[in-house]
């Protein structure tokens, strides 16, 4: 399908919208009518044509506008992009991964030609044409991680592998669900997950870490995570909580269908070849309740899932103020019929 880029915003007037195609391909994260933490990691293998899994790095209709939003975030707060000095090799690994995948899978939009270390990158949607020497950061306008992730949707955390743990030692984080790179940089896997309730006791992080430490080059894995966001706002950082926190009180039974969004993160994990680091892209997809219930199965399932959540999860995900209102709005879309297994539309 021809990829056309929306002109839209994720702040102020919030003109973000999903096309019917984008709704259809939305990665609905609930495979059954309830939700609890699990180590739901699976191989990141190609999925059906048109799905968010068709290509390893998904570029969609929101690409150009998301990149513009990232630039706005960085202009206000450069601390959203940081790398500790020992991560330079991993930065180049990431640049290679993203450029080669985007050029291979979206040749009408991106092109990469390589002559030894001399690389030539063309990004047509953003109007960029850059020649540089791979491995020489001075030949790019900024460090390689920042350069390439200003051109790739989703947040990116670079994890150093040492002492049997993963250390978040670099990242580009501007579309996050309320966590701070500036605070968490340098933490290990257990530390940066410190605030998550229940999962530590369930042993989820021990098992997940064990799995990730075994990750091999060329065999990425993925999982979905989710929360909810009022307004289609990508930048729900703790830094800017004073500006988006009040949105939660703006919901009414009349506007909640339009304003409340399911926020799904497609998280993938890739071993990088030179640095042995792991890159952890966190790609955010947003869908309003109104759009979500156009898929009858999702309209039935979402209220059942929200009702099943333990209170600690409701609080941690920030749903406390509006869960009941959301359930009331969603109730009319649940006719009580059985739902099919898996997240895909029927």
Partner 1 sequence: MLASGIKSRPVYGRLTSNPQARSNIMVADAEGALAVLDMVADAPDGFWARTHILYVPGGSAAQDHGAKLAALAPFSWHESPTVPAMLPRLRALLGAARMGTQLYLAGTEPLIGEGIRVAGEFGVDHAGVRTEHRGSLARRVQCVHCKGITESVTMSIVPCAHCGRHLFVRDHYSRRIGAFQGVMIDAEKPGDRPPAEELYR
Active-site annotation, residues: 223
Residue 32 engages partner 1 in binding (rule: CB under 8 A): no
Residue 200 engages partner 1 in binding (rule: CB under 8 A): yes
CA-to-CA distance for 17 and 8, rounded, in angstroms?
Answer: 7
Shortest spacing between CB 79 and partner 1, in angstroms: 8
The total of other beta-carbon atoms located within 10 Å of residue 113's CB is 11
Residue 193 engages partner 1 in binding (rule: CB under 8 A): yes
Among 23, 111, 126, 187, binds partner 1 (CB under 8 A): 187
CA-to-CA distance for 179 and 253, rounded, in angstroms?
Answer: 29
> 25 or 261, CB closer to partner 1?
261
Eight-state DSSP code of residue 253: T
CA-to-CA distance for 224 and 228, rounded, in angstroms?
Answer: 14
> 126 or 187, CB closer to partner 1?
187
Residue 39 engages partner 1 in binding (rule: CB under 8 A): no
Burial class (CB in 10 A: 0-12, 13-18, 19+), 346: exposed
Q: How far is CA 321 from CA 196, 219, 248, in A?
A: 19, 41, 7
Query: For residues 303 and 327, is the Cβ–Cβ distance under 8 A?
Result: yes
Of 28-36, 55-63, 139-147, 192-200, the segment contacting partner 1 by CB under 8 A is 192-200
Residue 155 engages partner 1 in binding (rule: CB under 8 A): no
Of 61-69, 184-192, 218-226, 280-288, the segment contacting partner 1 by CB under 8 A is 184-192
Shortest spacing between CB 206 and partner 1, in angstroms: 11
**The pairing of beta strand 110-115 with beta strand 221-230:** unpaired
Query: For residues 166 and 280, is the Cβ–Cβ distance under 8 A?
Result: no
Determine the size of the site formed for partner 1 (CB under 8 A): 26
Shortest spacing between CB 182 and partner 1, in angstroms: 7
Among 211, 214, 241, 342, binds partner 1 (CB under 8 A): 241
* Residues between 77 and 96 that touch partner 1 (CB under 8 A): 79
* Residues between 283 and 302 that touch partner 1 (CB under 8 A): none
Q: How far is CA 180 from CA 26, 69, 134, in A?
A: 26, 18, 30
CA-to-CA distance for 41 and 224, rounded, in angstroms?
Answer: 8
Question: What's the length of the chain?
Answer: 346
Shortest spacing between CB 159 and partner 1, in angstroms: 15
Query: For residues 279 and 159, is the Cβ–Cβ distance under 8 A?
Result: yes
Shortest spacing between CB 179 and partner 1, in angstroms: 9
> 321 or 332, CB closer to partner 1?
321
CA-to-CA distance for 152 and 58, rounded, in angstroms?
Answer: 9
What's the half-sphere exposure (Cβ side, CA atoms, 13 Å) at 19? 13
CA-to-CA distance for 282 and 176, rounded, in angstroms?
Answer: 8
Among 46, 141, 194, 253, binds partner 1 (CB under 8 A): 194
Structure tokens at 215: 């990750």
* Residues between 164 and 183 that touch partner 1 (CB under 8 A): 180, 182-183
Residue 273 engages partner 1 in binding (rule: CB under 8 A): no
What's the half-sphere exposure (Cβ side, CA atoms, 13 Å) at 279? 32
> 93 or 178, CB closer to partner 1?
178
Residue 246 engages partner 1 in binding (rule: CB under 8 A): yes
Of 109-117, 188-196, 256-264, 336-344, the segment contacting partner 1 by CB under 8 A is 188-196
Residue 218 engages partner 1 in binding (rule: CB under 8 A): no
Query: For residues 279 and 173, is the Cβ–Cβ distance under 8 A?
Result: no
Residue 191 engages partner 1 in binding (rule: CB under 8 A): yes
Among 184, 223, 325, 343, binds partner 1 (CB under 8 A): 184
Which residues lie near partner 1 (CB under 8 A)? 79, 163, 180, 182-187, 190-195, 200, 238-242, 245-246, 248-249, 321
């Amino acid at each position: 399908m021809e990829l056309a880029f929306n002109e839209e915003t994720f702040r102020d007037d919030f003109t973000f919208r999903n096309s019917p195609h984008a709704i259809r391909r939305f990665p609905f994260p609930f495979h059954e009518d309830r939700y609890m933490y699990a180590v739901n990691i699976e191989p990141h293998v190609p999925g059906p044509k048109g799905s968010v899994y068709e290509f390893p790095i998904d570029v969609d209709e929101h690409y150009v506008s998301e990149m513009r939003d990232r630039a706005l975030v960085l202009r206000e707060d450069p601390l959203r992009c940081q790398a500790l000095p020992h991560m330079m090799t991993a930065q180049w690994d990431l640049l290679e991964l993203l450029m080669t995948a985007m050029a291979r899978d979206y040749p009408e939009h991106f092109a990469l030609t390589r002559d030894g270390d001399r690389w030539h990158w063309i990004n047509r949607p953003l109007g960029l044409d850059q020649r540089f020497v791979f491995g020489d950061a001075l030949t790019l306008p900024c460090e390689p991680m920042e350069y390439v992730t200003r051109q790739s949707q989703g947040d990116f955390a670079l994890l150093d592998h040492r002492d049997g743990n993963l250390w978040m030692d670099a990242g580009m984080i501007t579309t996050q669900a309320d966590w701070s790179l500036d605070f968490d940089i340098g933490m290990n896997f257990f530390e940066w997950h410190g605030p998550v309730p229940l999962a530590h006791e369930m042993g989820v992080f021990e098992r997940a870490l064990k799995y990730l430490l075994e990750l091999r080059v060329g065999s990425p894995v993925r999982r979905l995570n989710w929360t909810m966001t009022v307004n289609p706002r990508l930048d729900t950082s703790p830094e800017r909580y004073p500006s988006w926190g009040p949105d939660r009180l703006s919901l009414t039974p009349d506007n909640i269908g339009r304003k409340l969004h399911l926020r799904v993160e497609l998280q993938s994990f890739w071993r990088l070849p030179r640095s042995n680091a792991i890159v952890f892209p966190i790609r955010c997809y947003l869908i309003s309740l109104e759009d979500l219930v156009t898929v009858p199965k999702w309209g039935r399932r979402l209220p059942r899932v929200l009702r099943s959540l333990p209170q600690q999860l409701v609080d941690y995900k920030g749903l406390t103020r509006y869960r009941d209102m959301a359930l009331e709005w969603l109730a009319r879309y649940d006719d009580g019929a059985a739902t099919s297994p898996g997240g895909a539309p029927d």
